[in-house]
């Protein structure tokens, strides 16, 4: 599902530190909810709610294997974040260049 059609916004989904950590955990491998829950001091229900938000934003998918649901990262919607942030890179580059010029001129 494209991020524009998602029920939850990608920006909202990654705004929570728990959800960001879940995304990092799923970056390398598919994981069941039990394994994800072990990494947090919150209930399985709370983790499930975070996974729901990530799923609605198109950032994770789940598939059933027997009685277990396994979750995997879907990084495509993160491009929206990357594009948005890259728009502002020029401002950072300009500020850093100005700072460099200021520091170097101060040394002389």
What is the pTM assigned to this prediction?
Answer: 0.75
| pLDDT for 108 | 53
How many whole angstroms separate alpha carbon 3 and alpha carbon 70?
Answer: 21
3 has pLDDT over 70: no
Q: State the maximum Cα–Cα separation within the chain, in Å, rounded to a whole number.
A: 70
pLDDT in tens, 27-55: 999 999 999 999 999 999 999 999 999 99
More confident residue, 41 or 83: 41
């Amino acid at each position: 599902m494209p991020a524009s059609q998602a029920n939850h916004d990608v920006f909202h989904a990654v705004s929570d530190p728990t959800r960001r950590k879940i995304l990092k955990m799923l970056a390398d491998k598919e994981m069941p909810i039990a394994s994800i829950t072990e990494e947090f001091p919150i209930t399985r229900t709370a983790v499930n709610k975070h996974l729901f938000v990530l799923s609605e934003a198109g950032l994770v998918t789940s598939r059933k294997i027997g009685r277990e649901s396994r979750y995997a990262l879907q990084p495509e919607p993160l491009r929206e974040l990357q594009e948005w942030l890259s728009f502002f890179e020029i401002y950072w580059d300009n500020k850093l260049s100005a700072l460099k010029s200021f520091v170097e001129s101060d040394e002389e």
